[in-house]
């Protein structure tokens, strides 16, 4: 196969507040026309940086990237894209590169057809407007043309990824690069996307895909592995050295047992709070920090707690750790009511079952990192005395601090102190890890390494609970708990109405009516009055329109299927009039949180961003409905 792109001795170094960090180290390889090239590696290995080099969206530190493109006269000119100006690079990228992101990056207010028509790069002189016919052909290629007039909110994750693939093909690029394109998809949908890639390669397209999933290795026509910025052929080098950093945890993960081993066979939840109140009394009177909090969290989850300062986040953590007594209510950890223990028994229980990571590290300044890591083992009298140093060293190796083990905390960076604090929190192999703003004092690279470790721990069955002010972290967690004035906001409210303020969300949470509709149950009938805004908490609904021939609603071809986090009823409440479609519970039934008309209108009018969003979605849904009627 012809070489289309060459990377020669590519080095990419980032300069941070600490030492320079080499993300790519003398990377050299070719990309061939018509191949499905896979690049595998763990989080932090340099995969995305490598894609940025190929796409020309990040400047290399040294080396060269050469593009070879066959011309009409049989010649193959070479273009050094690493030395192009920004304008020329943008033009080259728009004409030759199609990019597919893990998170789809679709415009929420545009239809799928309009999203495909939107050029991926507005710079350069190539044709900036894509015809509707061309966009429809691409949607047909990825087998989603039937949904062309829907907005992204009305289709599944797998369907969104298909649209992203169609958009990447808009300018008939020479190379398609895909950054973890199956990362947010279930296994069945991921398989569909891989089959689509294989179909495109069979048609002559070149695809470069990066993934952390080694299970895709045999699907690529060729695979490279990246470890600590070094790219190698795994067939030629099956055991690359991964000791350079602390971002690759699984080599040493045997020091930690799976928390799920003893739990998955039972129905016990990791953490349960039942009607928990916490009232503080001071000279200025009583302060209600937590108000009737109910919470149930499972093992093997990475969970974030967010909310403004003073909302009760730290108090909630103190309830879970047993540091502070609830004024009323029950706190059960692993099925055990921890506040029925004495103070001394609870302290020993906490040391064995919980690892706590603080924002300001709380390392003892006169002890080395190794000695700090050993402290919980000594306190809880766990493991034989002579095994403790080796176990502590293994944990420091796990977080990338083996070489700093015998240094005092003041002799290492703040990021390394936080990593040592995490090693110490893991010393007793607890089933629950709690972290209070653990990345607040870290640079972005070190924060990324800490979050990767938390994700790995959750994958091993541990429950990781993190308090944060950083909204980007919530995108990586399995569940987000939002606190406002000591109360928990309903997650379905937060997902359906994300532009509301937390007090507005809390008002909606308190007045939302919860209902369960069995499979096939009718929720709205075409032409009837709509008095509620409906948010789906679990299950799904089918949106149906009448068949123009029979006059009956066609259950075989629903206009849309809506699932958890989605909503309906906004068209009628914002535009007026009666229901524009039938809505029935799907085959799995549905649970709804319903807001009355008056409250919904009040919330929308009190939030300009929510009003704008609801009007745009309502307009689009009306167009979809009319399009279906015309088609029929």
pLDDT in tens, 538-593: 889 988 876 655 556 655 566 778 888 889 999 989 888 888 888 999 988 999 99
pLDDT of 525 strictly over 80: yes
Tokens read off for 613:
């969003």
pLDDT band at 398 (very low <50, low <70, confident <90, very high): confident
Per-position DSSP letters for 126-165, written without gaps between them: S-----HHHHHHHHHHTT-GGGTTS-GGGS-HHHHHHHHH
pLDDT at position 254 is 56
Q: What is the DSSP string of 548-580?
A: TTT-SB-TTS-SEEE-TT-EE-HHHHHH-SS-S
Within 8 A by CB and 6+ apart from 198, the residues are: 36, 219
CB 402 within 8 Å of CB 240: no
Which range has the top average pLDDT, 186-200, 279-293, 442-456, 539-553? 279-293
Phi–psi pair at 458, nearest 5 degrees: -65, -40
CA distance 602 to 607: 9
Span 178-198, mean pLDDT?
Answer: 76
Contact 285/444 with Cβ under 8 angstroms?
no
pLDDT of residue 129: 57
How do residues 454-508 score in pLDDT, each as one tens digit? 888 888 888 999 988 777 788 788 888 888 888 999 888 988 888 888 888 999 9
Task: Give the length of the chain.
Answer: 632
pLDDT score of 388 more than 80:
yes
Tokens of 522: 């009718």
Query: Which residues are paired to 334 by β-bridges?
Result: none
Answer yes or no: are the C-beta atoms of 432 and 271 closer than 8 Å: yes
**Ordered domains of the chain (ranges, CATH):** 33-59+85-240 (3.40.50.300), 271-488 (3.40.50.300), 498-631 (2.60.120.10)
Contact 540, 582 (CB under 8 A): no
Backbone dihedral region for residue 7 (phi beyond 0: left; psi -120 to 50: alpha; all else: beta):
beta
Model confidence at 122, pLDDT cuts 50, 70, 90, reads: very low
pLDDT score of 98 more than 90: no
Q: Which residues face 538 on adjacent strands?
A: 591
């Amino acid at each position: 196969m012809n070489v289309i792109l060459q990377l020669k001795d590519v080095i990419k170094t980032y300069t941070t507040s600490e030492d320079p960090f080499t993300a790519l180290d003398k990377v050299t390889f070719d990309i061939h026309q018509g191949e499905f090239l896979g690049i595998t590696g763990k989080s932090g290995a340099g995969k995305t940086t490598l894609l940025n080099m190929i796409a020309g969206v990040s400047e290399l530190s040294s080396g060269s990237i050469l593009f070879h493109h066959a011309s009409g006269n049989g010649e193959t000119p070479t273009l050094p894209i690493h030395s192009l100006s920004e304008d020329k690079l943008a033009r080259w990228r728009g004409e030759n590169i199609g990019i597919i992101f893990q998170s789809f990056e679709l415009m929420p207010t545009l239809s799928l057809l309009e999203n495909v028509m939107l050029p991926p790069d507005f710079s350069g002189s190539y044709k900036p407007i894509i015809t509707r016919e061309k966009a429809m052909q691409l949607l047909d290629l990825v087998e989603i043309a039937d949904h062309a007039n829907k907005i992204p909110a009305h289709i599944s994750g797998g369907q969104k990824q298909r649209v992203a693939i169609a958009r990447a093909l808009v300018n008939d690029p020479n190379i398609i690069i895909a950054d973890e394109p199956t990362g947010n998809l279930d296994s069945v949908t991921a398989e569909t996307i891989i089959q689509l890639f294989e179909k495109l390669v069979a048609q002559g397209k070149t695809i470069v895909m990066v993934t952390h999933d080694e299970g895709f290795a045999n699907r690529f026509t060729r695979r490279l592995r990246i470890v600590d910025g070094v790219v190698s052929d795994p067939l030629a080098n099956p055991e690359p050295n991964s000791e350079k950093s602390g971002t690759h945890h699984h080599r040493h993960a045997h020091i930690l047992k799976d928390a799920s081993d003893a739990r998955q066979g039972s129905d016990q939840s990791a953490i349960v709070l039942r009607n928990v109140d916490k009232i503080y009394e001071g000279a200025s009177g009583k302060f209600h920090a937590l108000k009737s909090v109910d919470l149930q969290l499972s093992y093997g989850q990475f969970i974030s707690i967010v909310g403004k300062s003073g909302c009760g986040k730290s108090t909630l953590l103190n309830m879970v750790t047993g540091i502070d007594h609830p004024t009323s209510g029950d706190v059960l950890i692993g099925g055990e009511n921890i506040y029925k223990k004495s103070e001394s028994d609870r302290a020993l229980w906490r040391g064995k079952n919980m690892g706590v990571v603080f924002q300001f590290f709380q390392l003892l300044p006169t002890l080395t990192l190794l000695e700090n890591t050993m402290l919980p083992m000594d306190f809880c009298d766990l493991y034989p005395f002579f095994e403790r140093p080796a176990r502590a060293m293994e944990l420091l190796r796990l977080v990338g601090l083996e070489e700093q083990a015998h240094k005092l905390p003041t002799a290492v960076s703040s990021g390394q102190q936080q990593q040592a604090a995490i090693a110490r929190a893991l010393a007793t192999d607890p089933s629950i890890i709690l972290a209070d703003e653990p990345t607040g004092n870290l640079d972005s690279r070190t924060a990324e390494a800490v979050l990767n470790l938390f994700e790995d721990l959750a994958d091993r069955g541990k429950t990781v609970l993190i308090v944060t002010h950083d909204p980007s972290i919530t995108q990586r967690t399995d569940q987000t708990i939002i606190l406002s004035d000591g109360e928990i906001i309903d997650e379905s409210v937060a997902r359906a109405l994300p532009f509301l303020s937390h007090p507005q969300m809390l008002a909606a949470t308190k007045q939302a009516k919860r209902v369960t509709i069995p499979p096939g149950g009718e929720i709205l009938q075409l032409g009837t009055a709509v008095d509620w805004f409906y948010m789906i908490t679990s299950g799904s609904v089918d949106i149906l329109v009448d068949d123009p021939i029979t006059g009956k609603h066609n259950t075989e071809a629903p206009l849309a299927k809506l699932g958890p986090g989605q909503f309906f009823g906004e068209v009628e409440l914002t535009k007026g009039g009666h229901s524009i479609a039938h809505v029935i519970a799907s085959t799995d039934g549905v649970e709804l949180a319903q807001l009355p008309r008056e409250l919904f209108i009040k919330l929308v009018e009190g939030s300009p961003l929510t009003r704008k969003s609801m009007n745009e979605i309502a307009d689009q849904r009306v167009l979809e409905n009319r399009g279906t009627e015309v088609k029929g």
